[in-house]
Each structure stands twice: as C-alpha cells, then as structure tokens.
Amino acid sequence: MLTAGIALLVLIGLILFGAPLFISAIVTIVFMLICGGYDGAFLLSYSYARVSSVVLMAFPLFTLAGGLMEKSGIADYLVNFISNIVSGIKGGLGAAGCIINAIFGACSASASAAITCIGPIMIPRLEKEGYPRPYATALMTASAGLAMIIPPSGHMIIYGWLTYTPVTALFLGGMLPGVAVAIIFAFINRRMVERFPMVKEAHPAGNVGKEHKISAMSLGKAFPALLFPVVILGSIYGGVCSPTEAAALAILYSVFVGFVIYRKMTLKGYAQAMFERGALVGTLLIVVFCTMMLARMFTMERIPETLSNAILGITTNKYLILVLLNVLFIILGMIMDDASAIIIGTALTFPLATQIGIHPVQFGTLVCINTAIGTFTPPVAPLLYLGQRVGDVSFPEIIKPTAMLLALGYVPITLLVTYWPPASLWLPTLVLGPKIMAVG
C-alpha cells in the first residue's frame, strides 16, 4: 500500500512538473515493478488483452473519421447552412457556432477536431460580425467540449470499455445533458451580445423568395453533412451496427462525401489525415496501455477499496459522495490528458460508485462532463490552450469568458445530473428498455 501511494505521488508530481504523460507513467510503472515485486510479463499480457478489445477499437476509428471529416468539406457546408438560417437574429451567429461545434464534435467524437476545424472558420466570421475575438474564441472552445458528452463520444467508449457498461446506453445518457449545455450557451450568447455594441443588428429582410432560394440551396449542399449523425447514430440505435461497426461506417461515409459528393478531399489530404490521426491514435493507445498497467497495480494494491473506506468514513450520503467524485475528476482532468484521467479515475472510484447505488450510466455521464471541465482548467488545460492558439488570442484574454461559460453552462448541468438521475437515465431507459438499464 505504501509503495502504491508513493507511486501515485510520483505520477502526479512528474505530470505537474511538465513531464510527458507516457514518460510519467513508464517511470511510475518501473518504480512499482522494482519496489512492489510485480510480474512484468503478467502486467504486459493483461494490458495487451484489454487494449485488444473490439469495443475500444471504436475510439481510434471515430478519431480517424474526424480527421477525414476535416478534409471532406463537411464543416464548410455546415457553417454556411446554419449561418444562413440565423442571419435574421441578432447574436444568432454565436448560437450557430455552438450548434455547429456540437454537431461536428459529435460526428467526429473529438473536441480537438471541432476546435481546429470549426474554430478557424467561425472565429473570423464572429469577429467580422462585431464579437470580441477573445469571447468568440472562448465560445467556440467551450462548445467544442460537448464532443465529450454528445454521442458518439470517444470518452464514453473508453468508460464503457473499462466498466463493461453498454456504450449505446452511455451515448443516450449523455445526449440530453450535452444538448442542454448547448442551449444554455445559446442563451448566454444572446445576453452577452447586448453588452457588445459592435455586434451587428440582424440582417434586414429582403426579397423573401430570394432568401428562401438561398436557404434551400445551402440546405441541399449541407444535406450530406447533416445526414452524417443520422446515419451513424441511426445505425447504432436501429440495431444495424455496433458502435465499432458504426465507427467504420463513419470512415466510409466521410471518404464517400469528401471524394464523390463535395469533391474537396484529395489523395494528399486523405494521406495527411491518415498520417496525422494515425500518429494521434498511436500516442493515445500507448498512454492507454501504460495507464491500464498502472490501474491494474493500483487495484491489486487495493487503493480503490482504501479510497472507498476513507470517503465512506467521512459521509455515507451518496449525493455528497458524488460531489466529491465530481471534484476528483475535475482535478484529474486538470493535470492529466482526458483519456488517462478517465482510466485512472474510473479504476479508483467505480467500485465506490456502484457500492453506494449509483447507476453506471449516470456515473459515466458525470465522469465525462467533469473530465471535460478539467480539460479547460489550468494548469494543463489542453483544450483551452488549443483554442487559444486557434483563436490567436492571449491566455488572460480567453480565461475569463471561458470560466463564465463553464460556470453557467457545464456546472449547472453537472449538478442536475448529480442530483436528478433521470437527466441521464430517462432517455436510455426509454429507448433501450428498463431490462437493459436494470444494472445499477
């Protein structure tokens, strides 16, 4: 137990001092092997068997699909279509940016893909409409985090793989909370534009027939992009595909739309997307492999049981315990990358959550929401720093509006899911039936 405690402190210390995560994990693993007397061959074979899961395969496939979507022109047509719809509403373009980020992030299962693809398109448009650039950057960055919650969420896939929870149920569990955050962002933006005198008034109505013609043309061009989530999620909930098969279908659909329909994807762009996403997936899988070894050793050292007993010694109120777990995942998201935070945090806390009667789907929704909040919170804050670079603004300029969006958007929905389980359980129970959901 002492060895594992020291190892956990070593891991956190190395991360806080800026060491790459996989280096920190490897150093911690070597320390545990030397001081704890573990069998390295057993740990390697265990991690290899877990990473070889068919369920986990959906994560890199959706990641690759996101890279192909960036090269296919889907984002451009989505932006043009939704921008035309809201052109008659003051502040509508900001709300449109939230919706587009949510759609694109959901389709690509990647918040970083949404920021890097939608951000360069929407931020200059918002600035041209009179939005302060730091606020526009914060709005696009914060709404991109919805990719962690709205299906098909790669983080839900990791959590489901770890806990043997049905991924389809987790996807549905995150749907309503994610949509609720997007709606809150739209309302916040509407109030914020009243404070920005430079934001242009709604475009005056002109020739109605001409406007309808423009909207119909933009709808026709955007239809294949809008059909993307329908095809992917419809195939899952229609019983046609498993999440992993749907991820492969997403790749095929992206290639077909990019080469045949929009004709914006080139062989060079295709190869570039494959290379970039392949490198990203390879890095992530190395991190996942190492963190699985750490999680296994921590479990063998009975750290989850010790943590559970310590928390239960403070309180047995499950909602107070959930608040403590929410804070824990925010902290983990602050100092680790999102995948590692979910793996290590879930391994340590899932037994406690099930012990106090929390449904795995509800807990999975909370894990992903709080990890998303953590990724926007310094010192690491990978999504916040990425958004800062994409928006070309300084860190002090982006931190205040982002903190406001987190406090008014993510935090209330987190509390709602914490204290009102139907917020995450009603939809999966309705779609999948009470028998499938009767696992809590």
Q: Are 221 and 81 in contact (CB under 8 A)?
A: yes
Per-residue confidence band for 216, with pLDDT thresholds at 50, 70 and 90: low
Give the pLDDT confidence score for residue 439 in this predicted structure.
Answer: 59
DSSP 8-state code for residue 201:
P
pLDDT (mean) for 37-44: 80
pLDDT (mean) for 306-327: 87
Instruction: State phi, psi for 212 to the nearest 5 degrees.
Output: -65, -35
Instruction: Indicate if the pLDDT at residue 240 is higher than 90.
Output: no
State the sign of the Cα–Cα–Cα–Cα dihedral 324, 138, 364, 44. Answer: negative
Give the pLDDT confidence score for residue 362 in this predicted structure.
Answer: 94
Lowest mean pLDDT among 196-210, 268-282, 322-336, 359-373: 196-210
In angstroms, rounded to a whole number, what is the distance separating the alpha carbons of residues 207 and 200?
20
Instruction: Indicate if the pLDDT at residue 423 is higher than 90.
Output: yes
Give the pLDDT confidence score for residue 436 in this predicted structure.
Answer: 64
Per-residue confidence band for 206, with pLDDT thresholds at 50, 70 and 90: very low
pLDDT (mean) for 195-208: 61
Q: How many CB atoms lie within 10 A of CB 215?
A: 14
Q: What is the pLDDT of residues 357-387, one digit of tens each?
A: 899 999 999 999 999 898 888 777 788 888 8
Give the pLDDT confidence score for residue 402 in this predicted structure.
Answer: 92
Q: Are 139 and 34 in contact (CB under 8 A)?
A: no
- Smallest Cα–Cα separation from 110: which of 61, 170, 50? 61
Between residues 177 and 233, the one the model is more confident about = 177
pLDDT (mean) for 47-55: 82
Cα distance between the two ends of the chain: 30
pLDDT (mean) for 92-108: 78
Per-residue confidence band for 421, with pLDDT thresholds at 50, 70 and 90: very high
Instruction: Indicate if the pLDDT at residue 208 is higher than 50.
Output: no
Q: What is the pLDDT of residues 295-309, one digit of tens each?
A: 888 888 777 888 888
Percent of the residues in the chain that have a pLDDT greater than 70, as a whole number:
92
Instruction: Indicate if the pLDDT at residue 429 is higher than 50.
Output: yes
Instruction: Out of 27-41, 61-75, 349-363, give the one with best mean pLDDT.
Output: 349-363
Give the pLDDT confidence score for residue 418 in this predicted structure.
Answer: 93
DSSP 8-state code for residue 90:
T
Instruction: State phi, psi for 315 to the nearest 5 degrees.
Output: -155, 150
* Residues in CB range of 430: below 8 A, 6 or more apart: none
- Smallest Cα–Cα separation from 21: which of 279, 278, 294, 274? 294
Q: Hey, what are 299's tokens?
A: 């479990």
- HSE of 1, CA atoms in CB hemisphere, 13 A: 6
Instruction: Indicate if the pLDDT at residue 163 is higher than 80.
Output: yes
In angstroms, rounded to a whole number, what is the distance separating the alpha carbons of residues 29 and 31?
5
- Mean pLDDT rounded to a whole number for the chain: 83
Give the pLDDT confidence score for residue 34 in this predicted structure.
Answer: 83
Indicate left, alpha or beta for 130 from its phi (over 0: left) and psi (-120 to 50: alpha).
left
Between residues 33 and 159, the one the model is more confident about = 159
**Secondary structure (3-state) at 355:** helix
Q: Are 225 and 78 in contact (CB under 8 A)?
A: yes
- Smallest Cα–Cα separation from 292: which of 55, 6, 58, 22? 22
Task: Output Rg (C-alpha) for the chain, integer angstroms.
Answer: 22
pLDDT (mean) for 216-230: 75
Q: Where would I find the beta strands (DSSP E) of 263-389?
A: none
Residue 18 Cα to chain centre, angstroms: 23
Give the pLDDT confidence score for residue 207 in this predicted structure.
Answer: 45
